[in-house]
């Protein structure tokens, strides 16, 4: 079962019904105030927060480190029962004062493998440094020993159970779910025919090089500059920009592979003509955090 924490749909439905009822039926209490829309939303948020605490798993931050000049990795130790499948993501709650409109939760792909538990890792790109969200500021301020909450793990970005060959296409930090999948295969001693096409702005932005190299997967690197000391099973695409024709040139058997792509919508659109020839296609589009 891919779901590792109690399902939340009935909780979300309960909160929605309560808020709708209270907002649509103002109630005078003690002649002092009326329970209208704003207070109805407040009560709904408090109830949702209580549900989240009840179903959450605590993560204690052990360390943070830059894995590229623009991306950080956070390493946690899970306290409580947490299960996930490689390729899934988690929802991380970081409570903080005066949160902005986007709130106190964000979703992150999981870098580590299920076999690594209770150690769990996520990674994210720093993004907008001039106008960061309140969440990003709060997450950046978290120090080792801080306890955060996982309020759910979800996602169907999962490898097929069959032994069919696989193509993975990752752009930048979009490589994170593939690291989890390849590491899980390595730790459980499973052999799969997998090709990873890894796109980055330059060689310094290739995260998790050592871990990916250790898995033995074939990797094709698309960067402007040539990365130094590439493993023997890695290939640099000679500075070419990845497009549909380039993908077919470097992966000529794409029609025999289940294809997965994790990256910005623009890249997915650029590669669509080639990816449509794949045996199947699963996408994980994101625009950053």
Q: 173-217: per-residue pLDDT in tens?
A: 999 999 999 999 999 999 999 999 999 999 999 999 999 999 999
Cβ-proximal residues to 232 (8 Å cutoff; 6+ apart), any chain? none
Residue 67 predicted with pLDDT over 50: yes
Strand partners, 60: 77, 147
What is the model's pLDDT at position 54?
A: 47
Structure tokens at 223: 């960067």
Residue 288 binned pLDDT confidence (cut-offs 50, 70, 90): low
Residue 90 predicted with pLDDT over 70: yes
DSSP three-state, residue 176? helix
DSSP three-state, residue 282? strand
Exposure string for 184-210, b = 16+ CB within 10 A, e = fewer: bbbeeeeebebbbbbbbeebebbbbbe
Residue 79 predicted with pLDDT over 60: yes
Domain ranges of the chain: 9-54, 57-154, 166-285
Does the 57-154 domain belong in CATH 2.60.40.1930?
no
Which residue is listed with tokens 């058997």? 253
What is the model's pLDDT at position 56?
A: 75
CA 246 to chain centre: 27
Which residue is listed with tokens 């993560």? 59
What is the model's pLDDT at position 23?
A: 54
Residue 262 predicted with pLDDT over 70: yes
What is the model's pLDDT at position 218?
A: 97
What is the model's pLDDT at position 10?
A: 44
Residue 42 binned pLDDT confidence (cut-offs 50, 70, 90): low
Q: Looking only at Cα atoms, what is the longest distance across the chain?
A: 78
Virtual CA dihedral for 168, 169, 170, 175, nearest 10 degrees?
Answer: 0
Which residue is listed with tokens 């702005």? 201
Residue 55 predicted with pLDDT over 70: no
Q: What is the pLDDT of residues 107-152, one digit of tens each?
A: 999 999 999 999 999 999 886 567 788 999 999 999 999 999 999 9
How far, CA to CA in Å, does 195 sit from each of 10, 47, 140, 167, 221? 40, 46, 34, 5, 11
Asked whether the beta carbons of 154 and 85 are under 8 A apart, the reply is no
What is the model's pLDDT at position 15?
A: 46
Mean pLDDT, rounded, for 92-97: 94
What is the model's pLDDT at position 220?
A: 98
The per-residue pLDDT of the chain, averaged, comes to 85
Q: What is the pLDDT of residues 10-30, one digit of tens each?
A: 444 554 555 455 555 555 545
Domain 166-285 belongs to what topology? Rossmann fold (3.40.50)
Strand partners, 28: 34
């Amino acid at each position: 079962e891919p779901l590792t924490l109690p399902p939340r749909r009935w909780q979300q439905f309960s909160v929605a019904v309560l808020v709708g009822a209270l907002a649509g039926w103002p109630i005078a209490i003690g002649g002092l105030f009326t329970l209208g829309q704003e207070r109805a939303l407040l009560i709904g948020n408090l109830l949702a927060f209580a549900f989240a605490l009840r179903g959450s798993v605590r993560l204690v931050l052990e360390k943070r480190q830059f894995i590229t000049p623009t991306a950080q990795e956070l390493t946690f130790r899970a306290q409580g029962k947490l299960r996930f499948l490689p390729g899934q993501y988690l929802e991380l709650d970081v409570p903080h004062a005066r949160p902005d409109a986007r709130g106190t939760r964000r979703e992150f792909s999981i870098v580590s493998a299920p076999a690594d538990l209770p150690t769990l890792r996520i990674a994210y790109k720093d993004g907008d440094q001039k106008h960061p969200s309140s969440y990003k500021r709060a997450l950046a301020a978290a120090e080792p020993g801080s306890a955060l909450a996982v309020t759910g793990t979800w996602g169907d970005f999962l490898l097929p159970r069959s032994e069919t060959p696989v193509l993975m296409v990752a752009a930048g930090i979009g490589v994170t779910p593939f690291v989890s999948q390849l590491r899980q295969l390595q730790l459980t001693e499973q052999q799969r025919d997998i090709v990873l096409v890894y796109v980055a702005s330059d060689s310094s932005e290739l995260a998790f090089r050592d871990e990916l190299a250790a898995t033995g997967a074939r990797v094709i690197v698309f960067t402007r500059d040539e990365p130094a000391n590439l493993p023997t099973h890695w290939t640099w695409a000679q500075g070419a920009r990845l497009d549909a024709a380039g993908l077919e040139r470097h992966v000529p058997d794409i029609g025999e592979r289940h294809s997965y792509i994790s990256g910005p919508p623009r890249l997915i659109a650029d590669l669509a003509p080639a990816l449509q020839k794949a045996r199947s296609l699963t996408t994980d589009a994101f625009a950053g955090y």
